[in-house]
Chain A
Amino acid sequence: MGHQDHSFSCAIHPSSLHIHSAFTLQSELELELERRARKLYEQGGQRTMAVAGLGETVCELRQAYESGKTRSLAWRQAQLRGLLRFLKEEEEAAFAALREDLGKHRAEAYRDEVGLLVKSANEALRQLGKWTTPERVWIPLVAFPATAQIVPEPLGVILVFSCWNVPLGLSLEPLIGAIAAGNAVAVKPSELSPCTAKFIGDNIGRYVDASAVKVVQGGAEVGEQLMEHRWDKVLFTGSPRIGRAVMAAASRHLTPVALELGGKCPCIFDMMGSARELQIAVNRIIGAKWSSCAGQACLAIDYVLVEERYLPILLKVLKSTLKRFFSDPDHMARIVNARHFERLSNLLKDKAVAPSILHGGSMDAKDLYIEPTILLNPPLDSAIMTEEIFGPLLPIITLKKIEDSVAFVRAMPKPLAIYAFTGDAALRRRIVEETSSGTVVFNDALVQYAIDALPFGGVGQSGFGQYHGKYSFEMFSHKKAVMKRGYLIELTLRYPPWNERKINLMRRLYRFDYVGFVLSFLGLRR
């Protein structure tokens, strides 16, 4: 999900894992990560706070969990209600922080962050009873009498790494799931959105149980220190590069991880049936590109694929709608910092790419503002077409036939989402069956994030692990199999000494050949 300033140096020591000397790949990884960390340190990376106190923080969380207080439904409900109050009472402050960090308009902040969190917390409160109830399962007759069920239990102490582009949402959405599942949680907001990080850290303690829900502030160093400890699960949202480091660090403690990464989410644009549909489709494309954090979103439309002959009309409607929506530049977010601003402007300055700029392209470094920009057919090997853009630049790639888009998308790494605007059922089926992505959305974009019943997560390069709704609860739970038997009926066949007769009897039982079993048992059949 975009690019982070920090990288991790994982303290994996080959010796401590007793690796066979042939396992060179792991030490390569370690060397590369140490190289990057040293470089960052030399560049005077961000000073982090309270690194010394981290061990205590982790200890406190574990004590809170071991005390058993996070297990009770009452505690979980109290935390969720606390979060709801937090979001309600501190809404204006939240909007201000998001405005400060990213220039997000309050409507966007509500639509994409605060509002969704309120919905999720309410859903969790509503469903908590259902989610925590053990599920009874079927038992084969052979085991009679017995009961079997699946009992969800919390994993223990969870670590959540948030990301800078949806800084409130990506911190609190996982928190809701982890709390609902009965865990103690540490959240590390991204230091690249410092106002929101501070806002969460300064205020949340008044609304939730601060002994079991902690906010840890800091940058790469702090992240690295946190991963030295043992967690019961780590959820990381960010770039694949850091995702690799997090997973490698987690493997030391056999900590399971979930990685929410990014990718280039394509938008396949087929001809629409009417002018009205075309307008709506374009509204939605613009919404999913420029209206959400100025394109700095893992689910944002990265590029568009369209048939050559429909290009002119698409462009016409795009341009006119852009003008209408963003007549006031205040309604589009800003680029998060100078480094990303530079990265994005370099994408455009690329000599091979610059000629393909069709619309927009103007930038204001002081304001960190980049105008909505459309490009036409930049070279497929340029950075803008190989890396996740994560910004307000939209390349449009033309194809001879829209069906070619399937092969085009298949050739790229699996993205978090594939969007397609089409009324053609055959094309829809081909897209679902022949491509792979976290999600597929037809005739809209981004909205899938708001649907609790749909799991949210990636596949392949876009990550693994899913959450939202009950998937959040499951992500932070262990589904424990529990079977209970009685003493009444004893199947003595199980016990040694064994002989062929016993084996044959078992065979019949396992085939559910009960009649044969009885006859065999009585010696009336071989």
Chain B
Amino acid sequence: MAEAVVRELRASFTAGRTRPVEWRAAQLTALVRMIEEKEADISAALQADLAKPHMESYLHEISLAKASCKFSLKGMKSWTKPEKVPSAITTFPSTAQIVPEPLGVVLIISAWNYPFLLSIDPVIGAIAAGNAVVLKPSEIAPATSSLFAKLLPEYVDNSCIKVVEGGVDETTDLLEQKWDKIFYTGNGTIGRIVMTAAAKHLTPVALELGGKCPVIVDSDVDLHVAVKRIAVGKWGCNNGQACIAPDYIITTKSFAPELVDSLKRVIKRFYGEDPLQSADLSRIVNSKHFNRLTSLVEDKKVADKIVYGGQTDEKQLKIAPTLLLDVPLDTALMTGEIFGPYLPIVTVEKIEDSIDFINSKTKPLAAYLFTKNKKLQDNFVTNVPAGGMLVNDVALHLTNPHLPFGGVGESGMGSYHGKFSFDCFTHKKAVLIRGFGGEATARYPPYTQEKQKILRGLINGSFIALILALLGFPREKR
């Protein structure tokens, strides 16, 4: 089945359907229309899949998707133009340019936590770059998946953009085909499988994975603003089920009590006395993840460290925002990506120690620092490798289309958003046009001493050598 899909898309691509900028603009315009006309349906699907509050659906998925479409529509004209670059004296006279061309037929495998955005955003990039696309939405967010399967054919060119729904079997089938690029959002285990499958066909991949995103909180901050930002970045992002949500906090032993108090107050303010009743919190996506999360705090030595929250409702699949303090570092909660509403706080002696702590773990997708201390900020930026970083706020950087969004190390490879999405699905073809004006006979055998001298000069960009070469030195006997 996957084979037939790829064959059809390849035929469409080879026929050149996806190349004209007008076609690409038409698809993107249709997508904007789809988002506007079907906003209620999209919100309803997200509500069904994740109990996602309407504000989050709007802020984090719908508006970002629309903005991404519009940004690409605007930028496409200049992105698709060849870029002239300086050629070298060595090849004078010549003109050189970089011509962006689509890779061909690409596969986009999406995730369940931002099922609308993480599907549509890469698709936008792939279309803008002129590719034919297969989107495989996550089966763990079934309402959104079937929404795509229903809606996309109504708005976009079906012969070039297709949705394939399904689980492991369908994904396996898709991964066996030959693609020109595979874009995967999800976890590292499947990321490895995707890359291994891609290796068979020498297919380049982009992997948007996760990690434990740390938040360092220094004592010199406007605490009441900082905790609001941390809280909305953690529990206001799908109740912690986001790849860039804060995973854990690091602060000094002396500051921790104040921080914990402040966090407790803000959780109460945002979500009330009984957060399980709040309409502003997403639920856990399914019982598998619910059980995974609750088992993280089952162990007494972890449960003992809960300082706030911890309530769960298994029927509703809800877990309340929960704070933990100084959980033993060898527990699952502290070693794996949490991806849920638990927020452990780690304490250190000096705030600078937090840098080494973060670096002792794998490189995260995002790292956050709350401080007014410029020196600490510089230390952080220079010495903490991460996909992206934000100082004095959380998660916002992904809304800026001028910043590349992607991981490094275990958090992934490749980046997108804005023009980076276009580049992700583009081959930058180098095109060199030479004339016959400058013929450097020094290049050719038989290699005499004179020739070698001129060649040296030419390669090192010497004008004199160029002039000599242009004048035809050394003269060849015909």
Contact = CB atoms under 8 A, between A and B. Distances in A.
Contacts of A481: 387-389, 397, 400, 403-405
B115 interface: no
Contacts of B202: 240, 243-244, 247, 259, 261, 460-461, 463-464
B195 A483 contact: no
Interface string B17-55: 001000000000000000000000000000000000111
A75 interface: no
A480 B172 contact: no
Interface string A338-365: 0000000000000000000000000000
Interface residues of A, number: 116
A150 B409 CA distance: 18
B10 interface: no
A107 B474 CA distance: 15
Interface in A157-214: none
A466 B199 CA distance: 18
A332 B444 CA distance: 11
Contacts of B199: 29, 244-245, 247-248, 251
Nearest to A233: B413
Contacts of B439: 280, 283
A380 interface: no
A454 B430 contact: yes
Interface stretch (B98-106, B116-124, B250-258, B322-330): B98-106
B429 interface: yes
11 contacts: A115-B460, A247-B198, A259-B202, A277-B436, A281-B436, A291-B445, A450-B88, A480-B408, A495-B228, A506-B59, A507-B58
B305 interface: no
A221 interface: no
Contacts of A118: 459-460
Contacts of B432: 439-442, 444, 447-448, 451, 454
A178 to B, nearest CB: 16
B435 to A, nearest CB: 7
B169 interface: yes
A484 B460 contact: no
Task: Tell which of B192, B207, B383, B461 has the most Cβ of chain A within 10 Å.
Answer: B192
B168 interface: yes
B91 interface: yes
Contacts of A455: 98, 428, 430
Contacts of B390: 482-485
B409 A107 contact: no
B96 A453 contact: yes
Interface stretch (A19-27, A309-317, A397-405, A518-526): A19-27
Given A106-B447, A332-B445, A440-B431, A482 B389 contact: yes
Contacts of B54: 498, 500, 503
B393 A483 contact: yes
Query: Which range holds the interface residue count of chain B?
Result: 35 or more
B459 A111 contact: yes
Contact of A137 (B197, B402, B451): B402
Nearest to B173: A22
Interface string B59-81: 10001000100000000000000
Given A29-B199, A244-B200, A155 B408 contact: yes
B197 A254 contact: no
Task: Tell which of B67, B372, B396 has the most Cβ of chain A within 10 Å.
Answer: B396
Contacts of A116: 459
A17 B192 contact: yes
B125 interface: no
B218 interface: no
A442 B433 CA distance: 5
B204 interface: yes
B264 interface: no
Interface in A217-236: 232
A26 B430 contact: no
A478 interface: yes
Given A331-B447, A482-B390, A482-B391, 19 more contacts: A115-B455, A119-B460, A248-B200, A250-B195, A442-B432, A450-B88, A453-B96, A454-B98, A481-B397, A481-B403, A483-B396, A496-B278, A497-B271, A497-B272, A497-B278, A498-B55, A503-B55, A506-B55, A506-B59
A70 interface: no
Interface stretch (A35-43, A47-55, A320-328, A381-389): A320-328
B447 A108 contact: yes
A494 interface: yes
Contacts of B87: 451, 453-454
A366 interface: no
Contact of B452 (A107, A287, A448, A461): A107
Interface in A404-463: 410, 428, 432-434, 436-444, 447-448, 450-456, 459-461, 463
A448 B430 contact: yes
B434 interface: yes
B247 interface: no
Interface in B450-464: 451-452, 455-456, 459-461
A293 B439 CA distance: 21
A454 B271 CA distance: 55
B400 A148 contact: yes
A328 to B, nearest CB: 6
A251 B434 CA distance: 41
Contacts of A105: 445, 447
B303 interface: no
A265 to B, nearest CB: 13
Contact of B436 (A240, A325, A443, A450): A443
Contacts of B96: 448, 451, 453-454
Contact of B209 (A254, A324, A506): A254
Contacts of B381: 151, 480, 482
Contacts of B377: 484
Interface in B184-229: 188-189, 191-193, 195-200, 202, 204, 207, 209, 221-222, 225-226, 228
Task: Tell which of B14, B53, B175, B413 has the most Cβ of chain A within 10 Å.
Answer: B413
B14 to A, nearest CB: 8
B436 A459 contact: no
A249 B292 CA distance: 30
A276 interface: yes
A490 interface: yes
B443 interface: yes
Task: Tell which of B272, B377, B386, B427 has the most Cβ of chain A within 10 Å.
Answer: B427
A93 interface: no
Contacts of A506: 55, 58-59, 63
Contacts of B413: 254, 256
Contacts of A125: none
A69 interface: no
Cβ-closest 8 pairs across A and B: A107-B447, A251-B195, A331-B445, A247-B199, A498-B55, A481-B403, A481-B388, A453-B85
